[in-house]
Chains A and B, each alone.
Chain A
Amino acid sequence: MKSKFLAFLGSAMLTAGVAQAGGFQANLQGQKQIGMGHTGTGLALDHSSIFFNPGALAHLRQNGIQLGVSALSAKIAYREPSPGFSEAMTDNPISTPFQVYASFGKEESPLRYGIGVYTPYGSSVNWGRNWQGRFGLNELTLKTIFIQPTISYRISDKLGFGAGFVYAIGNVNLQRSIPLQNANYFESGVELDGATSGFGYNLGVYFKPSEKLSFGLTYRSKVEMEIEGGDVTFSLPNSPVVTSQFQATKFDAKLPLPANITLGIGFKPTEALTIAVDVQRVQWSAYKSLRFDYNAPVRGENFTEGSRNYEDVFIYRVGAQYQLSDILTLRAGAYYDKSPVQAGYLTPETPDADSRGVSAGLTLALSEKVDLDASFLYINKKERTDAANLSGGVAGTFKSVAYIPGVGINYKF
C-alpha cells in the first residue's frame, strides 16, 4: 500500500493553478465536495473530512482510503491600460492538485485516526518572456503539500472533535526579466528557486442535533513557509560594471499561508437530498509583503520588497447532492469568493478578482467497497482593471477563467 502511495505522489504534478480561488489558495480538497461548491464542513461525507472537518471523521464507520486528482487548466488574459491595446495570455501548464486521505479505527470505537496529504496552496502562472509585464514576472510556480496526521473522537452520535497536525513542504520558483540588454539584444533575467517547509494544525468540531441537521466548525492555522538559502541565478551582460551590481547567490523569504475559519451547515430535507452551506473566512491579512533577502547586494539593496497588504475575505458556498439510486449520486454547487487583493495591489503572480465558481459532480457506487467520484468546476473571475501602483505590479486589465475536471476513487474496508 505504502509504495503505491509514493508512486502516486511521485507521478502527480504537485502544483495548483492560480485561477481557482482567492490569492493562491486552491480549494480542491475533495472530489465530492468540489461537486457541491466545495462545501462539506458541516457534513460527514467521506475520509476527506480529515481536511474539511476532523471532528466529523469519527462519525464515519468504515476504514477507507481515498485518492483524488484534479486537472486544472487556467488561463489569464491581460490588456495594457488604454489607449494601449497590447494583450497577453498566460500559457500555464495544466496542474494537478491532488488529495489522498486514509482513516482507520475499530468500527464501534469512538476514536479514529487518519492521514491526509493534499495541496491547499499553489500557483502556476507563466506569462512568458515577451509580455509587457515581464519585469514584474515571467513565471511563478508555488507548490505546497500538506501532510496531516489526524485524530478524531466521537463523544456521542451528535458530537465529535478532531485535530490534525500539519507538516507542509513546498517549492517556489520565480523568474522575471531585468531591463538590461546586451549587444545582441538578449534581455537579462533572474530566477529564484527555493525549497520550503512549515508547520500548522487543524481543529474541527462536528455537531449533529438531529437526522436532518448538522453543523461543523473548523479552524485551520496559518502555516509560515520559510525559504532559507534559496538559489538566485542571474543571466546578465558580461560587463563587470553590470555584474558587480547583481552579486546575490542566495535568498531567504517567508510566505504565510493564511489561517481559515469555516462554518458549515448540512440539511437533509429527505433521505436522498443533502443541502450544504459553508461560510469560510480566510485571514489573508497575514500576507503583508513579499520580501526577498539576499546574501549580497542587488543594485545596492540587500532585499527587495513588494507590498501585498491582502485583506481578510469571506467565501460563501452552497451545494447539494441527490442520491438518485443506490448506484448514482448527483451533485451541484456554487460559490462566491471575494478577492483578498485590494485596489492598487494587483500583481501578475495573482491577478486576483472576485471569483464565481459553479460545479457539478457525481458518485458511482461500483460495489460495497469501491466507488468513483467525478467533479467539474468552472471558475470565472471578474474582469479587473488596476493601476498596481502600490504593489509594484503591472497596471492593466486582467481576466481569468479556469476549467477543473477531477476524479477520485474510494476504497472502504
Chain B
Amino acid sequence: MKNIFYRLGAAALLSSAFLFTGCDPEFEEDVVVSQGPLDLSKYVAVGNSLTAGYQDNGLYLEGQILSYPNILANQFSYVGGGAFPQPLFTQAQANGSGYLRLGGFTSTGAPILAPVTTNLAVRTDVAPLPGGPRLTKHAGAIQNWGVPGISVLASATPLYGGVNPYFERLLPDNEVGQVSYIQKVVATQPTFFSVWLGNNDVLAYATSGGVVDPANPFGIITPTAQFNAIYTQLVAGLSRNKAAKGIVATIPDVRSIPFFTTVGPVFKAGLPSAVTAVVALTKSGAARKVIPRDDIRVGTTGNTLFTLTSTPYLTLIGQPTGRFWRDQARAKFPNDAAAMNQEIRRYLQNYQLDTTKAFGVSAENPLPSALILDADEQADVQAATTAYNATIRAQAQANDLALFDVFEFFNNIQSGLTVNGVFHSPAFITGNLFSLDGVHLTPRGNAIVANEMIRAINAKYGSTIPTIDVTQFRAVLFP
C-alpha cells in the first residue's frame, strides 16, 4: 500500500516537474550512484583530532559538523548510508574547548591569533585531567570516535580515559580509566569503518621539537613493534574477519605541515647577515647543536625546521633572555610563584643555561629544543612514519580494505592543488588547506580529504559514492 502511494506520488511529481522544466536543458544520462558491495548502514569513524573535526587549535561545534567523517557520512546517505551520530557540543557550548581565530595582522603582516573563550564546554567544577581540563560529557550514541590527542599506543590502554578529557567526555563514569579506546570502538560493530590513526605516535614528539616529557607516557615515538601489534589488533577487531569493509589512511610526512614550514623562511630572511649560525639544544637533553644559517629550511633547501610556536622567541635572538624558560615554568605552575621559580632553577641547572648571555647565538643560552625540529629529530620521525605506514598498508591489504595514502597525497600537493579554480597548498593561512594551528585541516581541507577517501573507496570496492562540492566549505576566515 505504501509502495503504491509512493509510486503515485512520484508519478505526480515527475509529471508536474515536466510541466515546469520541459524547456530546461537535460543531461543525456541520469546520475548513477551505487554502494556496490558495501553495507553503509552503520559507519564508524576511528581516529584522532583530524577525525574529531579539531581545527584552529581546538574542538568546537563548527569543526565537528564539518569533520571529514561527517562529510563522508553525508555522501554515504545517497547510497544507503545510515545515521551518523557525533558527540557534538551543544549550541550553548558551541565553542567547545575554545579555539583560535584570526583577529588581524601586525604591521609586518604576521597573523594575530586571538583565543575564543566564550561558550566553552570546559568544566571548572572538577579537577582537570593530566591532558587538560574536563569537558562536558556526551551521552547518547556515537559513531564518530575521533579523540584529539590519541595515538595507536594510547588506544590500547584502559587508563587513557582518565588522562585525555576528549576521551573521558565520551565515556560513562564507570568506564573512565577502565575501558580502552579499542574496546569501545570494536564494540560498536560497524558495517563500514574508517581508521586514520597513528599521527600522534610521532606527531607529539615532532611538535614538541623532539623533547619528551618524562611525565607523559604518550610523548615518545611509539616503538614500531608496538605500533604494529596494536594497529593490527584494532583493524582486526573492526573488520571482524572481513565482515565489515572500511578504509584506512596513512600518516602524512609531518615535515610538510605549516606548523614546521612557516616560520623558518621568515626567520632566515630577517636574520642579520653577521649571524652565520644559531645554537640550539637537541632532543631532550643538554647537548648543544650548531645550526649554520644555510641549514634553516626554506623551500627544499636546508634541514632544520622551526615550529609555529617559536615565533615570539625568535625575535629575541642575540639578547640576554630567559623568557622561554619563564613561560614554560609559568604554564606549569600558573598560581604558585615559589614552584615556578624552583622550576626555572631546575631548567637552568638541567640544561646548563646562562640567560645573561646572547640568546640563540651563545652556547650558554641556546635556543630551546622545543622550538626546533632538527635533522636528527627528523630522522627519528621519518623512520617511524615509514615503518607505521608499512604496517597500515599491510593491514589494508590483509583485511581487504580501501587505502587513502595520505603520505603520498600530501607529498604530491606540496607545490599546490587547484580545485574549482581555487589554489590550495600547505602554506599557512593562505594555502586554504590548514587551519590556524598549522597542523589540522580547515573545513575545505576536510572536504578535500573526504573526496579523496571516496575516490579510494570507489576504486577499491567498485561503488559509485558521490563526492561533494568542496567550494561549499570555508577555508580560513579573514577579518
Contact = CB atoms under 8 A, between A and B. Distances in A.
A79 B27 contact: yes
Contacts of A190: none
Given A84-B469, A132-B469, A394-B421, A403 B23 contact: yes
Interface string A314-333: 00000000000000000000
Contacts, number: 88
B25 interface: yes
A300 interface: no
A194 to B, nearest CB: 23
B109 A241 contact: yes
A242 B476 CA distance: 12
A89 B104 CA distance: 38
B421 A136 contact: yes
Interface string A173-187: 000000111110100
Interface string A387-413: 000001010010111010000000000
B384 interface: no
A76, A83, A180, A238 — most chain B CB neighbours (10 Å): A83
19 contacts: A73-B23, A75-B24, A77-B24, A83-B455, A83-B467, A84-B467, A84-B468, A133-B420, A179-B471, A180-B478, A181-B474, A181-B477, A182-B477, A183-B101, A238-B479, A241-B109, A383-B27, A400-B25, A401-B24
Interface string B437-479: 0000000000000010011001000001111110100110111
Contact of B25 (A84, A133, A179, A399): A399
Given A135-B422, A181-B475, 4 more contacts: A77-B26, A179-B471, A183-B477, A242-B478
B168 to A, nearest CB: 32
Given A83-B464, A85-B33, A179-B432, A75 B475 contact: no
A240 interface: yes
A237 interface: yes
| Contact-size category for B | 20 to 34
B65 to A, nearest CB: 14
A38 interface: no
B471 A135 contact: yes
A76 B26 CA distance: 9
B18 interface: no
Contact of A84 (B27, B421, B432, B466): B466
| Contact-size category for A | 35 or more
B336 interface: no
B43 to A, nearest CB: 18
Nearest to B105: A241
A77, A85, A86, A241 — most chain B CB neighbours (10 Å): A241
B28 to A, nearest CB: 6
Contacts of B432: 179
B269 interface: no
B469 A401 contact: no
B421 A85 contact: no
A239 interface: yes
B31 interface: yes
Given A89-B24, A383-B28, A239 B465 contact: no
Given A83-B464, A179-B432, A185-B477, A132 B104 contact: no
Contact of A132 (B25, B28, B471, B474): B471
A79 B104 CA distance: 38
Interface of B is mostly: loop
A392 B423 CA distance: 12
A182 B479 contact: yes
Interface string A53-82: 000000000000000000001011101101
A89 B20 CA distance: 14
Given A89-B24, A179-B475, A237-B479, A132 B420 contact: yes
Interface of A: 73, 75-77, 79-80, 82-86, 89, 132-136, 179-183, 185, 237-242, 383, 392, 394, 397, 399-401, 403
A79 B455 CA distance: 18
Contact of A83 (B105, B420, B454, B475): B454
A185 B421 CA distance: 19
B23 A401 contact: yes
Nearest to B468: A84
Given A77-B26, A83-B466, A179 B422 contact: yes
Contacts of B27: 77, 79, 383, 397, 399
A133 B24 CA distance: 20
Nearest to B432: A179
A83 B454 CA distance: 9
Interface string B349-365: 00000000000000000
Interface string B88-116: 00000000000001001100010000000
Nearest to A135: B421
B32 to A, nearest CB: 9
B471 A77 contact: no
Contacts of A400: 25
A75 B25 CA distance: 7
A238 B105 CA distance: 11
A384 to B, nearest CB: 11
